[in-house]
Amino acid sequence: MKHSKFNEEQIIGILKEQEAGMATADVCRRRPAHGAVALVPLDV
């Protein structure tokens, strides 16, 4: 299994941005993650 590119603090920051109302696309754009992988739930 591959190791995460993000440390625990970065993942928590990503989740907090999402919970604060930032759109998933914007959260993903700010991070160097592959577009096909999202660490946060999709906006519904």
Distance from C-alpha of 5 to C-alpha of 10, rounded to nearest angstrom: 9
Tell whether the model's pLDDT for residue 35 goes beyond 60: no
Whole-model pTM? 0.58
CB neighbours (10 Å) of residue 38? 16
Query: At residue 33, does pLDDT exceed 80?
Result: no
Count the domains in the chain.
1
Q: Is 44 within the bounds of a domain?
A: no
Average pLDDT, the chain: 75
Residue 41 lies in a domain: no
Instruction: Please give the pLDDT value at position 20.
Output: 93
Residue 18 vs residues 2, 8, 36, 44: alpha-carbon distances, Å: 24, 16, 17, 12
Report yes or no on 20 lying in a domain: yes
Q: How confident is the model at residue 1 (pLDDT cuts 50, 70, 90)?
A: low
Classify residue 21: in a domain, yes or no: yes
- Would you say residue 40 lies in a domain? no
Domain carrying residue 5: 1-35
Tell whether 42 is covered by a domain. no
